[in-house]
Structure 1
Amino acid sequence: MPSDPTGSRSADPTGSRNNGPAPTGKPVGAGPSRSSESTTRPVPPSPAAADDLVRAVAQLLDDGGSRTRRLDAPTLRLALVDLYELWLNTKGSDLGIKADSGLAIVAVGGLGRREMLPYSDLDLILLHDNIPDRELADVADQIWYPLWDAHVKLDHSVRTVPQALQVASSDIPAALGMLDARHIVGDEELSDLLISGIRRQWRAGIRGRFDDLLGEITARWKRSGEVAHRAEPDLKNGRGGLRDVQLLDALAIAQLTDAIPGLGPDVPGGGLEQAHRSLLDVRTELHRVAGRARDQLRAQDADEIGAALRIGDRFDLARTLSDAARTVGYSVDVGLRTAGNSLPKRGLSRLKRMPVRRPLDEGVVEHAGEVVLARDARPSRDPGLIVRVAAASATTSLPMSAMTLNRLSEDAPELREPWPKEALNDLLVVLGAGRGMIAAVEALDRTGLWGRLIPEWGAIRDLPPRDAVHTWTVDRHTVETVANASALTTRVSRPDLLMLGALLHDIGKGRGGDHSVVGAELATQIGNRLGLWPSDVVLLSAIVRYHLLLPDTATKRDLDDPATVQRVVDALDGDSVLLELLHALAEADSLATGPGVWGEWKSSLIGELVRRCRLLMAGESLPVPDPVDPVLLELAADGEVHVDQLPADGQHTYRVTVVAPDAAGLLSDAAGVLALHSLRVLSASVLSEGGHAVNSFMVSPKFGSLPQQGLLRQDLIRAIGGHLNLEKELAKKESDSATAQSGSGKAKGVPMLYAQAPPKLIWFDGTRPGEVLLEVRAEDRLGLLSRVAGALEQVGADVRWAKVATLGAAVMDTFALHITDGDNAATRARVEAAVLEVLPQTAPKTPPPVTDQE
């Protein structure tokens, strides 16, 4: 028997423990506490029967390590429902809870919905028809205590029907929970009174509670984020999660919308029912893998869950979840909008005239804040109507009516190939509408219409990114790129091809091979279907083929090398229009990738590359790099360490130049000192001449202003002389930062920086004899450049120059290396091993604990 029946019990799902008898603190009624009644009240019975229940649940979850014995997720949920219902029916019968007893056990939550998960709470209401408190207490104790003592998680309440209705009338979460109520055992008429009463009360009061309901939904979404776009989503409470499916049911019960709104016959992924089942299956396996109740899917569990559900790896699981959550999210948007329009009017609003139908385009009108078809529209005879409706929605930011989308999905024929010019123009209107086009494309996609217009879209729909710097799925990233590109159309001579290039730049992903090459072939196919001129089809294909050329070259190659610029010009065949379009697309693509990917440093690098390409295309000579400042060479002659800092082109960027005797470890020491002073390195170059080294860094302070020049020089001298342990100081700075972020006053041990994605090293050929390029992709950490440079120097790889790009939480650093013992497979493997040793690694299955330093 529990020693503390008050402190260890679960919360009441109906929102209050004081509205009727409940066995918490005072097990029932208003009598004395449990401790004061211990000599007069009967002791609750032995929990043996509840122990049998627990053992039976454990047997269901125990697969004995055999796949053949393992119950799949839907079967397991049904088996758990049957098991709990059997126990409750047996227990109820033993206690005399029968048809004429005035008592009933009602299930809410997962058991009420027949969606019992392995470690879900058991949510029960003991209904009674004014049973005396002492008799009611005995019955309640004999139900609750065996469950508690067997460690079954229990949410409970004991109420009359009027008490339960009173709670639901004042508490929206409680009302939503009781809408799932289902009779289990006992007086079914009593249960029906509650179920019908709750539903009737919900329908009658929804008008006055709708704004509060919206407020609670919005707060939940803000708190839990989106399931579709979170690395570790909250499957229950996030936007597009299971709570939203229950919300749709609640709106349907209120007779404000259908339970499955806005989805036509061609909806991808199987529609709302399949989305609901997918979310349930993943959450079921999450419970089974975690061994306890859990709503948030952790990254380290994703592969195991994907394999258990026979979906695939974590990327396949992420794609399944994205599809399900976006389908649910779209359905909720439609449901809430339909519900808001369906609410009965009150007050002066009842006197307003019916909404008028305002023409927007041929066959398209606005009605009640939505884009709908005109009365005389004939979708079956108007193939271009789909794009025309979408254009009206994108340009006005009005949502398309679910009924309109369903009708188009059912009746509108395929566009003939090549498309009519009017349909292509309407598509360009959609793409050029800025942020308004995102919702329009999402609505078309969730109802199967976007895939009808662009069949190749299916390969990238809900495709998760393989790179940690990407925020969105590939299809949503593409749409975000188009929205960004629409703001750059006045910078190019062919805005139509910029829009189409942005739409198709990643269309080759998800098919294997180089997505730029695959995408270029698909762009040719799509361009011909859209009815572009042959020369425009060639240009569109080239945009897709080379959309990464400018950012890759600018951030990974030496722009002072004429061969670098010549390589770009040759690839583009000297086409200045193509160069112009790729410049704008590079910015739009970077902005849509994630925070920190586009900035003044990357913008200046690409801009300088484009400027040099234009000069070469025009037949002018390329600029030559500035010679080393003679003043710096004079400083180098004295054999001392010098630090010079000057403002650079950007508002928050500076050039810090270190002049010192050439020695192994100088680049690592200099980068470490800069990191110690919270200076983010944007690029670095190394020059050795006459036994002296000139290392130049483009830096940006993470906060505040640049530290004093003398302080940087002093710390660098100490580091070179071995009097400043940079590794120890950087680790301490990491620890202090982690402590500050946690808000704890206690000093913690230096945290291991686990990465969400494993680091990756890529080799390229250099443009000079004996030069190779090593690109390092990893998650960022304090002093990473110093550690990598130190690792390279230790294995005899001489760094000639480096370009450092910090993209949100990730880095993509390129080092031009001269390897002293030659470039061969064995040497590269040795270099890779040294670099990987200092990069943040992916988290282990169970991270080691961080202990207090006390």
Structure 2
Amino acid sequence: MTAAERAERTAAADDLCRAAYAKADCPQTGVSLVAVGGYGRGELAPFSDLDVVLVHDAAVEPGDWAAQVWYPLWDSGADVDHAVRTVEEVQQQASADLRVALGMLDCRHLAGDPGVTLRLRSAVSTQWRRDARLRLGELRQLVAERRARHPELAHASVPDLKQSTGGLRDATLLKALVASWLVDVPHGDLERSRQGLLDVRDALHTVAGRATDRIVPEYWPDLADVLGLPGGEAAQRHLRVLARRLAHLASLAWQRAEAAQRRPAPSGGRRPRLETVAPGVAISFEEVVLDRGAAIAGDPLLLLRCAAEAAERGLVLAPPTASRLVREGARLPEPWPHEARDLLVRLLASGPGLRSVWETLEETGALDLVLPEWERVRLLPHASEIHRFTVDRHMIETCVEAAGLIRRVARPDVLAVSALLHDIGKGGLTEHCVAGEPVAREVAARIGFDAREVDLVGTLVRWHLLLPETATTRDPEDPATVAVVAERLHDREELELLAALTEADARATSEKAWTRWRASLVADLVRRAAAVLSDDPVADDEVEQVTPEIVVPAAVAADPREVAVSVEDHPDGARVTVVSGDRLGLLADAAAMLALQRVSVRAARAWPQDRYGVSVWDVVEHDLDAVLLRQRLEAIVEGRLDVASRLRLGPALRLAPSVAVRPEVSESATVLEVRSDDRPALIHVVCRALAGAEVSVRSAHVSTLGPQAVDVFYVQEAWAGVLSEERAAEAAHVVRAALERTFGTTPD
């Protein structure tokens, strides 16, 4: 089945239509017969309909000849969709019905007055380009409704060649978007994918012996024979590769078209405006690209940094940028440095933005550099019909689901990586949980996890089916049921991670896989297992640890109103120490100093020492200028610099922040645990909110786990001790409100 055969079928149909038109003795001028839709594009499959319209000028009144055109076509046995319209009526229908407009964009002259066809094509094209911006939302809604009914062609268990995402409908819409002049699409890639899908449809009609677009499982071996492929699995992979490429093109085109709508009119001759968002990374026209002067050959983190920024912001990772980094970029050392792993986790935990960015990484070959093990599961069909997607897409959907659960676990980084790798063992002869564990451990070690973290990832992959299988097949009241779980897990940390992974995995599988009944069974099993695995309660103030004694600089000792900043470089960053007289708001000012300098904080500690306040900040950057930092801090302290107006806050929070009071942790202070998307100004906002409530931060323990900041603040009344329950609740509310007010949250 080839384009040449489609051309032959189209030519035969054209001859039939022309003969019918000639036999009807139509007027010589003012009337033409045109092919529209797939027939207009010359894409007839063996059992396709003939979509034709008899178009006439308003001055030409249709007579008996208008009806006579169709009889020879019906007598031939062809399935014909036909209509008689004036040029103006076609325009009116196209304006009222988007489907008509799309079909008429492909109108092609068959017989009669070519001038009428020319006017029709010109009128339809002009109307489409003129109204495209206004109709883009309507077109997007049409696509959304179709996609809600049909799964993605590349990942569906029973693909629909026309309606599925990445199918022939999307190919037609891409051509329509290009015709609108809003965006362009790589023509060669589009045509290769489109022609490949048409070949599969032709083969499907041949195998089925009728017009159909759905490929049921029993058709695959015969399709392979017609397409000249070695077997049913090869035929599936062939189709899915084509569909994935076309779906990727469609996704990029839609994002670019919508960005074009929001873009102001060009002022002429200006270079694209770049907004720097991270080292070497910028945004241009709502796409993540390389910044001017980016160290392509010297920065092995650049690819991951671009990907994470694009996914978190819901933007396009520009394919030329990814392709260039594949060709010219520096390679990551093994094991990966901490920042590389953190960027990968940020990418995996970015939520829905992960999908399109991951597609770009796959299509450009960048994924082979980051995760070569992905080839094991690429476009691999699931054996179970309950799965909506292929194995690789299911793993990405599990990451998307897990991203919404990271507030529940202490190690969101481990959860994100385990979600990505949980089915990596599929496709072999060994049980996939068993086969996947050593692969997952190898990947976890390569990306820089320590031995305990590697063990966590391996355990989660090995036992990711443990909870649902045990909960649904055993008596929950039987102590042996809980023992099955407790014997395989070490502690509650593993249990809470496994519970989150179980839910994410099930939600990504299908609606049937995570019903209220199944969820309640798993929750009950987790509760019972948690009681068995419970550790001893944390000793009072254990988290605080012993604070070191800092030598107070002479200038601060002489005048506590002074501030001192020192910087000590380390192999993986630097340590910034801030000392001044102890006062409310000092920690907030120090955090603002670093945020304004766009310094990435990896961890921080703060504590009072006599009458002084000390904070130590471990940061990613090297070669920081202590004098410049001190000058910036002095300007903040003295009120010469408006922090709120200068902070760059980044995208809105994807998940609502969590602020919990932990009364069991300390008897001498009130402990607030803040979990939120990591943002440069996060610590400043929290500390400023507490200072505004006249709550003193006695010590702070800041850490970042992938995309999530987990910050613990030991707080007291400004001149007293532990906060009352009412004051603690008020402080938690003030912090939560400040975070939401400052950063905003992304609507669900």
Structure 1 length normalisation: TM-score? 0.54
Q: Give, in whole Å, the separation in 1 of the partners of 2:160 and 2:255.
A: 24
Aligned residue number for residue 155 of structure 1: 81
Superposition map of 1:585-600 within 5 A: 585-598=501-514
Structure 2 match to 1:717: none
Distance 1:496 1:443 in 2: 23
Give 1:217's aligned residue: 143
Look up the match of 2:439. 522
Q: 1:585 to 1:214 in 2, by over 3 A?
A: closer
How far off its partner does 1:505 sit? Answer: 0.8
Shift of 1:423: 1.5
The correspondence of residues 461-480 of structure 1 with structure 2, limited to 5 A, is 461-480=378-397
**Whole-Å separation in 1 of the counterparts to 2:81 and 2:405:** 56
The alpha carbon displacement at 1:504 in A equals: 0.6
The whole-number CA distance in structure 2 between the counterparts of 1:91 and 1:398 is 52
Whether the aligned pair in 1 keeps the contact of 2:491 and 2:535 (CA below 8 Å) is no
The equivalences for 1:385-404 within 5 A come to 385-401=302-318, 404=321
Q: Deviations over 1:697-719 (max 9, x none)?
A: xxxxxxxxxxxxxxxxxxxxxxx
What whole-Å deviation, never above 9, does each CA across 1:15-57 have from its counterpart, x for those lacking one?
Answer: xxxxxxxxxxxxxxxxxxxxxxxxxxxxxxxxxxxxxxxxxxx
Per-residue CA deviation, residues 647-701 of structure 1 (Å, 9 max, x unaligned), is xxxxxxxxxxxxxxxxxxxxxxxxxxxxxxxxxxxxxxxxxxxxxxxxxxxxxxx
SS in structure 2 of the partner of residue 382 of structure 1: coil
* Residue equivalent to 1:180: 106
- Are 1:279 and 2:197 matched, yes or no? yes
Instruction: Please list, as runs of the form range in 1=range in 2, the aligned pairs for 1:621-700 lying within 5 A after superposition.
Output: none
Q: CA deviation at 1:230?
A: 5.2
Give the distance between the partners of 1:210 and 1:372, measured in 2 at CA.
25
Aligned mates of 1:444, 1:211 — CA distance in 2? 28
Taking a change above 3 Å as real, the CA distance of residues 202 and 589 of structure 1, as seen in their structure-2 partners, is closer
Q: Match of 1:591, as an amino acid?
A: R
Distance in structure 2 (CA, Å) of the matches to 1:345 and 1:419: 39
CA distance in 2, matches of 1:603, 1:178: 50
Q: Find the counterpart in structure 1 of residue 281 from structure 2.
A: 364
User: Unaligned regions of 5+ residues in structure 2, if any?
Assistant: 537-748
Calculate percent identity across the aligned residue pairs: 39
**2:178 aligned counterpart, secondary structure:** helix
Specify the SS of the correspondent of 1:552: helix
604-613 or 322-331: bigger deviation: 604-613
CA displacement at 1:602 relative to structure 2: 4.5
Could you report, residue by residue, the CA deviation over 1:465-503 in whole angstroms, capped at 9, with x for unpaired residues?
A: 222332333223212322333344455443322221121
Q: Does 1:117 align with 2:45?
A: yes
DSSP-derived class of the 1:200 partner = helix
- Given that 1:125 and 1:157 are in contact with CA atoms closer than 8 Å, whether structure 2 keeps it comes out as yes
Equivalent residue for 1:331, pick from 249, 274, 282:
249
What SS does structure 2 have at the residue aligned with 1:587? helix
Q: Following the alignment from structure 2 to structure 1, what is the Cα–Cα distance between the partners of residues 161 and 355?
A: 24
Alpha-carbon displacement from aligned partner over 1:198-218 (angstroms, at most 9, x marks no partner) = 333432332343334334434
Tell me, in whole angstroms, the C-alpha distance in 2 between the residues paired with 1:565 and 1:428.
Answer: 32
Q: Distance in 2 between matches of 1:182 and 1:538?
A: 64
Structure 2 counterpart of 1:108, from 36, 53, 56: 36
2:136 and 2:518 mapped to 1: Cα distance?
47
Structure 2 contact 482–529 (Cα < 8 Å) conserved:
yes
CA distance in 1, matches of 2:432, 2:342: 27
Q: Number of residue pairs matched?
A: 535
For 1:246, the aligned partner's letter is T
User: Secondary structure of the equivalent of 2:52?
Assistant: strand
**Against the structure 1 CA distance between its residues 601 and 119, is the aligned structure 2 distance closer, same or farther, given a 3 Å change threshold?**
closer
Q: CA deviation at 1:306?
A: 5.5
> 1:336-373 CA distances to partner (integer Å, 9 max, x unpaired)?
232233359899x99xx999754322122344444333
CA distance in 1, matches of 2:463, 2:61: 79
Amino acid at match of 1:77: R
In 2, the alpha carbon distance for the partners of 1:346 and 1:551 equals 52
User: Do the aligned residues in 1 keep the contact of 2:157 with 2:381 (CA within 8 Å)?
Assistant: no
Q: 1:219 to 1:96 in 2, by over 3 A?
A: same
- Secondary structure of the 1:531 match is coil
1:200 corresponds to: 126
Deviations 1:596-622 (A, max 9, x none): 4345654565566556667777899xx
Deviations 1:243-267 (A, max 9, x none): 2211111121222222338x9xxxx
Do structure 1's residue 540 and structure 2's residue 457 form an aligned pair?
Answer: yes
Contact in 2 for aligned 1:73/1:285 (Cα 8 Å)? no
Change (3 A) 1:147 1:357: same
Question: Does the 8 Å CA contact 2:36/2:104 hold for their aligned counterparts?
Answer: yes
Deviation at 1:332, TM superposition (A): 2.2
Q: Is the 8 A contact 1:226 1:240 kept in 2?
A: yes
Q: How does 1:126-525 map to 2 (within 5 A)?
A: 126-127=54-55, 133=61, 137-138=64-65, 140-141=66-67, 143-158=69-84, 164-165=90-91, 167-185=93-111, 187-188=113-114, 190-222=116-148, 226-228=152-154, 231-260=157-186, 272-298=190-216, 304-305=222-223, 308-309=226-227, 321-343=239-261, 357-401=274-318, 404-405=321-322, 407-408=324-325, 411-525=328-442
Tell me how far 1:415 sits from its aligned partner: 3.0
TM-score by length of 2: 0.61
For 2:85 and 2:528, the matched residues in 1 are separated by: 79
**What is aligned with 1:719?**
none
**Is the contact made by 2:155 and 2:379 (CA closer than 8 Å) also made in structure 1?**
no
User: For residues 592 and 133 of structure 1, what CA distance do their matches in structure 2 show?
Assistant: 59
Q: Distance in 1 between matches of 2:351 and 2:99?
A: 38
The answer to whether the Cα contact below 8 Å between 2:158 and 2:216 also exists between their aligned partners in 1 is yes
1:89/1:184 contact within 8 Å kept: yes
Q: Is the 8 A contact 1:320 1:462 kept in 2?
A: no
Distance in 2 (alpha carbons) for counterparts of 1:592 and 1:129: 55
Query: In 2, distance between residues paired with 1:168 and 1:438?
Result: 34
Q: Secondary structure at the match of 1:511?
A: coil
In the TM superposition, residue 324 of structure 1 has moved relative to its aligned partner by: 4.0
* Distance across 2 between alignment mates of 1:160 and 1:275: 35
| SS of match in other structure, 1:124 | strand
Amino acid in the other structure paired with 1:213: L
1:156 match: secondary structure = strand
Q: Quote the offset at 1:164 in angstroms.
A: 4.6
Conservation of the 8 A alpha-carbon contact between 1:502 and 1:585: yes
Moved more, 446-455 or 508-517: 446-455
Corresponding residue for residue 736 of structure 2: none
1:761-800 CA distances to partner (integer Å, 9 max, x unpaired)?
Answer: xxxxxxxxxxxxxxxxxxxxxxxxxxxxxxxxxxxxxxxx
8 Å contact kept, 1:112–1:180: yes
Q: Is the 8 A contact 1:272 1:324 kept in 2?
A: no
What is the CA distance between 1:455 and its match in structure 2?
1.8
Residue 408 to residue 200, structure 1, CA distance change in 2 (3 Å): farther
Change (3 A) 1:215 1:76: same
The 1-side partners of 2:470 and 2:94 are apart by: 63
Query: What is the SS of the residue equivalent to 1:87?
Result: helix
Q: Contact (CA 8 Å) 1:459, 1:511: kept in 2 or not?
A: no
Distance in structure 1 (CA, Å) of the matches to 2:57 and 2:476: 84
Q: Distance in 2 between matches of 1:165 and 1:615?
A: 70
Q: CA deviation at 1:84?
A: 1.5
Structure 1 contact 105–185 (Cα < 8 Å) conserved: yes
Shift of the 202–411 alpha-carbon distance from structure 1 to 2, 3 Å rule, reads farther
Assess, with a 3 A threshold, how the Cα gap between structure 1 residues 618 and 381 changes in structure 2: closer, same or farther: closer
Letter of the 1:82 partner, please give it.
Answer: A
CA deviation string 1:626-646 (max 9, x = no partner): xxxxxxxxxxxxxxxxxxxxx
